[in-house]
């Protein structure tokens, strides 16, 4: 039988929780929250019906088991240790924890953990008051996937089109220039044909990682398709040096599944407002300039010129 702690909490006047917190706890326990009670060792000693319905475990199955048994493995050991360290030092902890239910499904809980002294046993207990946010986390994941490339986790073309509008509006307001760098990996098709698409995908991830490593807070990198990336640079004072820094990233071979893969990058550049103010046009012009760079044997960059469209 699941125990009702609401009366006990109110009668326990020596708890670490403050009087105001006790009133909150009394209200909480009558609401449809997921309640878990742990002993001073962090082992489960009670749960409420909402917990049982969510995790499909009965209390006897969990009784005196380490609460860590329910944690999914999503979080790092350092993070979990930090949670326990905080509450064992008498602090209240609030945050999100990823769990695994009896059938293996992931359950995300938004939890608050408070410590309560047990006067009879002279031990501290911990009460977790949680809400199930699994559906909310799933929606966040889908929204993220809709705007990020599945391989590199970088913002994708959809995000680029949205972001360009705000970048240009901001640049116009501040009377600043923008540089759009359209980048394409040289000989990527040959790499795929030689080593296979899995190796090609791993190469794209590594390229994305290297590009992110040299992207400052004032700039933003996008993975728009296949082996194509776009970088928006908001400060053009050292544009040439920044482009050279990107090209130098490819001087070092990529080690992918024990293969040493040597490649380079071709870059096309368009400038706002020199080459226009329409976001799609600026991206198109940078793309045209990139193909011109590829036509020059690659491993170089070209700035857009109107004659390139002829």
C-alpha to C-alpha distance for 171 and 154, rounded to whole angstroms:
23
- Between strands 301-303 and 34-38, the pairing is unpaired
For the cut 80, the answer to whether the pLDDT of residue 24 exceeds it is no
For the cut 70, the answer to whether the pLDDT of residue 4 exceeds it is no
For residue range 75-88, list pLDDT tens digits in order: 999 999 999 999 98
Sheet holding 228-233, edge to edge: 220-225, 228-233, 178-185, 265-272, 301-303
* DSSP code for 253: P
Domains 6-138 and 148-309 fall in the same CATH topology: no
148-309 CATH: 3.30.70.270
Q: 149 near 209, Cβ under 8 Å?
A: no
pTM over 0.85: no
Instruction: Show the tokens assigned to 193.
Output: 């044909």
Domain boundaries, the chain: 6-138, 148-309
Averaged pLDDT, 225-233: 95
Averaged pLDDT, 25-29: 56
Q: 38 near 128, Cβ under 8 Å?
A: yes
For the cut 90, the answer to whether the pLDDT of residue 13 exceeds it is no
The topology under which CATH files domain 6-138 is Beta-Lactamase (3.30.450)
In sequence order, what are the residues at sequence separation of 6 or more whose Cβ sits closer than 8 angstroms to the Cβ of residue 258? none
Average pLDDT taken over every residue of the chain: 87
**pLDDT for the residue 141:** 86
For residue range 250-306, list pLDDT tens digits in order: 999 999 988 999 999 999 999 999 999 999 999 999 999 999 999 888 889 999 998
Cα three-residue angle 23-26-28, rounded to 5 degrees: 110
């Amino acid at each position: 039988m699941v125990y009702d702690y609401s009366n006990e909490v109110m009668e326990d006047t020596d708890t670490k929780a403050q009087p105001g917190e006790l009133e909150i706890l009394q209200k909480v326990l009558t609401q449809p929250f997921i309640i878990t009670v742990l002993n001073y060792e962090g082992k489960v000693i009670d749960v409420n019906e909402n917990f049982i319905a969510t995790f499909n475990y009965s209390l006897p199955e969990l009784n005196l088991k380490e609460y860590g048994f329910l944690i999914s493995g999503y979080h790092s050991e350092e993070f979990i240790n930090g949670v326990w360290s905080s509450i064992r030092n008498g602090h209240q902890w609030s945050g999100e924890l990823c769990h695994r239910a009896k059938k293996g499904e992931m359950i995300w809980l938004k939890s608050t953990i408070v410590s309560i002294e047990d006067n009879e046993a002279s031990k501290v207990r911990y009460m977790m008051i949680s809400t199930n946010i699994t559906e909310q986390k799933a929606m966040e994941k889908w929204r993220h996937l809709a705007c990020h490339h599945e391989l590199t986790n970088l913002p994708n073309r959809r995000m680029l089109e949205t972001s360009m509008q705000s970048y240009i509006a901001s640049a116009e307001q501040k009377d600043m220039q923008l540089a759009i760098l359209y980048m394409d990996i040289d000989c990527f098709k040959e790499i795929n044909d030689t080593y296979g698409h899995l190796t090609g995908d791993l190469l794209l991830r590594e390229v994305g990682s290297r590009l992110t490593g040299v992207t400052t807070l004032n700039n933003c990198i996008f993975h728009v398709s296949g082996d194509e990336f776009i970088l928006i640079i908001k400060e053009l004072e050292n544009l040439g040096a920044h482009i050279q820094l990107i090209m130098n990233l490819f001087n070092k071979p990529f080690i992918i599944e024990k293969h040493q893969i040597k490649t380079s990058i071709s870059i096309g550049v368009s400038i706002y407002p020199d080459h226009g103010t329409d976001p799609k046009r600026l991206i198109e012009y940078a793309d045209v300039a990139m193909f011109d760079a590829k036509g020059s044997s690659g491993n170089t960059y070209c700035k857009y010129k109107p004659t390139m469209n002829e």
